[in-house]
Amino acid sequence: MKIKEVIVVEGKDDTTAIRKAVEADTIETNGSAISKECLERIQHAHEVRGVIVLTDPDYPGRRIRALIEQQIPNVKHAFLPKKQTIAKNGKGLGIEHASPEDIRTALQNVYTVADDKFVSTITLEDLIAAQLLSHPAAKKRRERLGELLNIGPTNGKQLVKRLEMFQITEEQFGAAIAQMNQEEKHA
């Protein structure tokens, strides 16, 4: 599988993992302290070939996404769930630990943030009713929702913004909640 866009990752080990999964070029941010020069390289790559951000599912990874998105509002995003990025020994987390198949799947489910303002009709009441807020299992359910919708994990405050950012419809949201409820019933 050959990827036209340049994939933005955090480090060299991530680049190695990407290249085991697909044929692609990468830009490494070298952690969450992205330099101005690195942001300029990402901007240039976006203008020439397009960019896909694939960072670790943790706070530094989310910070990198936010910094890039500030510079390039319509950047593409690929996400891997936390459980697919945990080291075999359980002592590390990152894209470098993901299987080639999981990386390919994430890159096939890329989201582009739209330029126009999509306003989600999913309300806070809907999120509470779906046990995504103000519920003992809310964090776990938000993580699973992020996996099902390929929008990455979020906290309660970010969820509405992320749903709008990736233009998740009521139908998509409802289908994901139904699937989660079904999974929980059979667990």
Summarize pLDDT for 95-114 with one digit per residue, the tens.
Answer: 999 999 999 999 998 877 65
Q: Alpha carbon 146 to chain centroid distance? A: 8
Residue 100 to residues 8, 72, 96, 150, 181, Cα–Cα distance (Å): 16, 27, 10, 17, 29
Please report the pLDDT score of residue 90 as a whole number. Answer: 84
Instruction: Please write the tens of the pLDDT for every residue from 33-50.
Output: 889 999 999 999 999 999
Domains and CATH numbers, the chain: 6-112 (3.40.1360.10), 124-185 (no CATH)
Please report the pLDDT score of residue 113 as a whole number. Answer: 64
